[in-house]
Amino acid sequence: MTTADFVGQLPVGFWQVPYAGARFPGSRAVAERPGLEHGANCQLFARAVLARSGLLVPALRSSELWEDTASTVRVAEPNALDLLFFGRDEDPWGAHVGVHAGGDTVLHLCAEVGRPALWSLADFAARERYRVLLGAKRVTARLPGPAAAGRAAPADW
C-alpha cells in the first residue's frame, strides 16, 4: 500500500480530529463520549484508523500495548498499518504511537500539531520527545464479522 492509497482511504473527518490528551483508550472521557469528534490522543486515533481496515487494537495505553502479545506482535521491518512507537528514550511508558503509512511516512496525532499529520521518520528523530523509535508492532486481532475489513469504524461520523 502506498502512502497515497492509505491517506486516500481515510474519511475527511479523520483529518479534523483535535488532539485531546485525556481522551485515550479506556478513559472515562471516551466511555462517556465515544467517537473522535471530541478529540483523541495518539493511541485512540491510531486505534480508530486501524479499525477502518478491520484491525482490532486493544484498548491499552502505549506501554501496555508495547508489551501486548495477545493482539499484536513486534516486527523488525514495518509495513503499512503497523504501529510505530516513539519516545525520548527506550522506556515505552508514555510512548507516542503512530500508524505506518508506507515508505518513510507515519500518520499520527500529537499535541504539537493539534490535528492528524504525516511525518517522516526524520521528523520524529528531530524532536527530543520522539527521537527514539522503540519499534513496530503488527496488529493480529481482527474486528468480528465477515465484512470487518473496509467497514466503517465507530469513529466515523
* Spatial CA neighbour of 41 closest among 23, 15, 14: 23
* Spatial CA neighbour of 84 closest among 44, 55, 52, 43: 43
> What does the pLDDT read at residue 58?
93
> Residue 103 is which amino acid?
G
Q: Is the model's pLDDT at 85 over the cut of 50?
A: yes
The 10s digit of each residue's pLDDT in 117-128 is 999 999 999 999
> What does the pLDDT read at residue 1?
64
| 19 vs 23: CA distance, rounded Å | 9
User: Picking from 26-30, 35-39, 95-99, 150-154, which range would have the lowest pLDDT averaged per residue?
Assistant: 150-154
pLDDT, greater one: 64 or 147: 64
| Residues whose CB is less than 8 angstroms from the CB of residue 8 and which lie 6 or more positions away in sequence, other chains included | none
The 10s digit of each residue's pLDDT in 37-65 is 999 999 999 999 999 989 999 999 999 99
